[in-house]
C-alpha cells in the first residue's frame, strides 16, 4: 500500500496544476497511463481564451461562451471562470510557459502577449504559443513537477477502480455516504495492482473521444475517469454533447490530426471540392461560427456531394506568417506531401471534446466525498451544449487551482480498512481475441449512429448493441486477471452507453447534439441531462 495526502489521476494541465498547488501542503502522487506528456493538453494547438485587451471585456467573453453553448451554460460558472482568466495566464507565465509575444517585444509578460481569434469569439483574445500551445504549457508544468520533492510521478500506471465503500466489507456498521479513499492502480508493465491510499483524489483523466472511430485525441482518451466515477455512483451530466472539431486532417488511410481553428482565425476559409466557399450560407460568422455549426455545415456539404472531405484554404494568406504561426501544421502537412501555403488542406470533422462529464462544482467537488474532478473529465456548466474554442485549457486550469485552494482539502480523513486487490491469476487469451474486437466495433457504432447527425431509431439500435457488448466485456473483466486493454475497452463501452442514453433523453437539437427527429430547439429541454 502506498500512502499519500493527494492522488492525481491524469497528467494534463488540470492534474499538474492541482499537483503543484497541493504539493505546498502535502505529499502528492500523479498517476498517468503512459508518459507524463501523453495527454490531450499536449495536443492542444490553439491556445487559452482570456480577456487581456483593452478592446475586450469580460461581459463579451461571457456572452460568446453562453451563445456558443446554445444557452445551456451556467452563467454564474461562466463568469467565475472567465474573470479568473487573466490570473491563470499570469500563473502559467510565472511557471515558465513561453507564449508567443508581439514582434516588437522582448519581454515575456501579459502586456506583450500576441492574441489571435477563433470561431465564436467576438475579439482577438486567444493567448497562444505558435500552434503548439498545449505542448509548451506541458513543458513548463512537467519541469516544475519533476523538480518538486513533494510530487511522485508514476508513468505507465493506470487507475483501475476508485476505492469507495463498495470495496469495504462494512462488517461492523454501514458507511452511509459514498466516499473515496484513493484508487487501485495497475503498473502497466507488470500488471501488478497496488492500493494508492489518499485523503483526496483528483480525477483529471481527460475525455473519451476514442469512443469514436475518427477522432483527434491520443489513444489514452478512453474516458477512464468518467467510467470509474459512474461505477462508484457519481452523477454524470450532459454526456450527449460530444463536440466534433470541424477541421481534422483527412487522409484515405484514416490518419488524422487537428488543424487548429486559429488558422481560420487568421483568415483561412473552408471550401467544397469544387473550390466554392459555403459557410456564409449557414451562419453570419461564416468560417468563424461556433464549432457545432461549422461541423454540421461541412457534414451537410459532404453528404450533399457524396464527398469525404472539404478543403481548408490558407493559400491567399502571407506565407511567412503561416509558417511562423503554424509550424506544427506545416510540418504535419508536409509529411503527407502538402504545402499548405500553396495548396488547400483536405479536412473533415472528427470527435474532439466532451462537453459533459462528471458533475462538478466550480471548485472541483463531485457527489462523492474526497473525490474531485477537473478538466475534460468534469462537467462544471461552463460549456453548455457546445464548447467555445480555447475555453478548455482555461476551465481546466481555473477549476484545478480553485480545487487546490479549497480549505476543505486539508480536512482530516478517517480511513477504513482497505482490502488488497484480488487478482484471479489467469488471463484467457482465446476469449480475449473476441472481446478485443469490441473496441473497433464500438467506434464504428458510435461514428455511424451517434455522430454529428443522429436519429432516435439508430440511437435505440446503438443502445441495444452497446448493452450486449458491455455485458460481454464485463463478464470477461470479472472472470479474468486485469489488463490495461480490458479496462480501457470496458471504460469505452460505459462512455458510449452514457452518450447514447443521454442523447435519447434530449428530444431537441441543441449545440453539439443534433437529432433529425427533433431538428429545432425546445425550451422544455433547456435543462441538463443528469444520469
**In this structure, what CATH number is given to the domain that contains residue 221?**
3.50.50.60
The 10s digit of each residue's pLDDT in 196-238 is 999 999 999 999 999 999 999 988 999 999 999 999 999 999 9
Helix %, strand %, coil % of the chain (to 5): 40, 20, 45
The answer to whether the beta carbons of residues 286 and 294 sit under 8 Å apart is: no
**Total number of domains constituting the chain:** 3
For residue 310, what are the β-bridge partners? Answer: 347
Give the domain CATH number at 276. 3.90.700.10
Domain that holds residue 292: 251-349
| CA separation for the pair 99, 343 (Å, rounded) | 28
Check if 291 is active-site.
yes
> Cα-flanking dihedrals φ and ψ of residue 194, to 5°?
-120, 160
The 10s digit of each residue's pLDDT in 427-444 is 888 888 778 899 999 999
DSSP annotation of 429 reads H
- My answer on whether 115 and 9 are in the same domain is yes
Q: Which residues, 6 or more positions from 441, have their beta carbon under 8 angstroms from its beta carbon?
A: 469
- My answer on whether 47 and 191 are in the same domain is yes
| CA separation for the pair 248, 345 (Å, rounded) | 10
Order of strands, sheet of 357-359, starting from the edge strand that comes earlier in the sequence? 236-237, 357-359, 378-379
C-alpha dist (Å) from residue 180 to 168, 247, 451, 520: 11, 40, 34, 41
pLDDT reported for residue 436: 81
- My answer on whether 323 and 367 are in the same domain is no
51 belongs to a structural domain: yes
379 belongs to a structural domain: yes
The 10s digit of each residue's pLDDT in 40-99 is 888 888 899 999 999 999 999 999 999 999 999 999 999 999 999 999 999 999 999 999
- My answer on whether 220 and 367 are in the same domain is yes
- My answer on whether 473 and 405 are in the same domain is no
- My answer on whether 305 and 205 are in the same domain is no
The 10s digit of each residue's pLDDT in 235-288 is 999 999 999 999 999 998 878 889 988 899 899 999 999 999 999 999 999 999
Element (H, E) at 359: strand 357-359
**Average predicted confidence (pLDDT) for the chain:** 94
424 belongs to a structural domain: no
313 belongs to a structural domain: yes
Q: What 3-state class would DSSP assign to 254?
A: coil
228 belongs to a structural domain: yes
- My answer on whether 33 and 180 are in the same domain is yes
- My answer on whether 89 and 206 are in the same domain is yes
The 10s digit of each residue's pLDDT in 111-162 is 899 999 998 999 999 999 988 899 999 999 999 999 999 999 999 999 999 9
- My answer on whether 63 and 146 are in the same domain is yes
- My answer on whether 359 and 443 are in the same domain is no
- Choice among 117, 197, 230, 291 that is catalytic: 291
Q: Cell numbers at residue 459, please?
A: 440511437
Residue at a domain's end among 349, 367, 383: 349
- My answer on whether 341 and 433 are in the same domain is no
421 belongs to a structural domain: no
How many residues are recorded in the chain?
A: 531
| CA separation for the pair 165, 317 (Å, rounded) | 59
Q: Please state the rounded mean pLDDT for residues 374-398.
A: 97
- My answer on whether 147 and 280 are in the same domain is no
Residue 169's pLDDT band, with cuts at 50, 70 and 90, is confident
Amino acid at each position: 500500500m502506498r500512502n499519500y495526502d493527494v492522488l492525481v489521476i491524469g497528467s494534463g494541465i488540470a492534474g499538474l496544476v492541482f499537483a503543484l498547488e497541493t504539493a505546498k501542503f502535502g505529499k502528492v502522487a500523479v498517476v498517468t497511463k503512459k508518459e507524463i506528456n501523453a495527454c490531450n493538453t499536449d495536443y492542444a494547438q490553439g491556445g487559452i481564451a482570456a480577456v487581456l485587451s483593452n478592446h475586450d471585456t469580460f461581459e463579451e467573453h461571457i456572452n460568446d461562451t453562453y451563445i456558443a453553448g446554445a444557452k445551456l451554460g451556467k452563467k454564474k460558472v461562466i463568469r467565475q471562470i472567465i474573470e479568473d482568466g487573466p490570473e491563470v495566464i499570469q500563473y502559467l507565465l510565472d511557471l515558465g510557459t513561453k507564449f508567443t509575444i508581439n514582434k516588437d517585444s522582448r519581454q515575456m509578460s501579459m502586456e506583450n502577449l500576441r492574441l489571435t481569434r477563433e470561431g465564436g469569439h467576438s475579439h482577438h483574445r486567444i493567448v497562444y504559443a505558435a500552434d503548439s500551445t498545449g505542448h509548451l504549457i506541458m513543458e513548463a508544468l512537467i519541469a516544475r513537477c519533476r523538480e518538486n520533492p513533494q510530487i511522485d510521478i508514476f508513468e505507465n500506471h493506470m487507475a483501475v477502480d476508485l476505492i469507495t465503500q463498495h470495496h469495504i466489507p462494512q462488517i461492523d456498521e454501514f458507511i452511509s455516504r459514498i466516499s473515496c479513499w484513493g484508487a487501485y492502480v495497475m503498473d502497466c508493465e507488470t500488471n501488478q495492482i497496488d492500493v494508492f491510499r489518499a485523503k483526496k483524489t483528483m480525477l483529471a483523466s481527460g475525455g473519451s473521444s476514442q469512443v469514436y472511430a475518427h477522432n483527434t485525441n491520443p489513444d489514452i482518451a478512453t474516458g477512464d475517469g468518467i467510467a470509474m466515477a459512474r461505477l462508484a455512483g457519481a452523477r454524470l451530466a450532459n454526456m450527449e454533447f460530444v463536440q466534433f472539431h470541424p477541421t481534422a486532417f483527412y487522409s484515405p488511410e484514416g490518419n488524422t490530426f487537428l488543424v487548429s481553428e486559429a488558422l481560420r482565425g487568421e483568415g483561412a476559409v473552408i471550401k467544397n471540392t469544387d473550390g466554392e466557399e459555403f459557410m456564409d450560407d449557414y451562419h453570419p460568422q461564416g468560417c468563424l461560427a461556433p464549432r457545432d455549426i461549422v461541423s454540421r455545415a461541412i457534414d451537410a456539404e459532404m453528404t450533399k456531394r457524396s464527398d469525404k472531405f472539404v478543403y481548408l484554404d490558407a493559400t491567399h494568406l502571407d506565407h511567412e506568417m503561416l509558417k511562423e504561426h503554424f509550424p506544427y501544421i506545416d510540418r504535419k502537412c508536409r509529411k503527407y506531401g502538402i504545402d499548405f501555403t500553396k495548396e488547400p488542406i483536405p479536412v473533415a470533422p472528427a470527435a474532439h471534446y466532451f462537453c459533459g462529464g462528471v458533475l462538478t462544482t466550480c471548485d472541483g467537488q463531485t457527489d462523492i466525498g474526497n473525490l474531485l474532478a477537473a478538466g475534460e473529465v468534469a462537467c462544471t456548466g461552463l460549456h453548455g451544449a457546445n464548447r467555445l474554442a480555447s475555453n478548455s485549457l482555461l476551465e481546466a486550469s481555473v477549476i484545478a487551482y480553485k480545487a487546490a485552494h479549497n480549505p476543505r482539502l486539508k480536512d482530516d480523513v478517517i480511513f477504513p480498512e482497505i482490502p488488497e486487490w484480488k487478482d484471479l491469476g489467469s488471463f484467457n487469451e482465446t476469449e480475449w481475441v473476441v472481446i478485443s474486437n469490441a473496441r473497433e466495433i464500438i467506434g464504428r457504432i458510435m461514428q455511424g449512429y451517434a455522430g454529428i447527425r443522429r436519429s432516435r431509431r439508430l440511437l435505440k439500435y446503438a443502445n441495444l448493441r452497446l448493452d450486449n457488448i458491455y455485458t460481454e466485456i464485463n463478464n470477461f473483466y470479472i472472470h479474468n486477471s486485469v489488463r490495461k486493454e480490458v479496462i480501457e475497452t470496458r471504460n469505452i463501452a460505459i462512455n458510449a452507453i452514457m452518450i447514447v442514453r443521454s442523447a435519447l433523453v434530449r428530444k431537441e437539437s441543441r449545440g453539439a447534439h443534433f437529432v433529425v427527429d427533433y431538428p429545432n430547439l425546445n425550451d422544455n429541454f433547456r435543462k441538463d441531462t443528469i444520469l
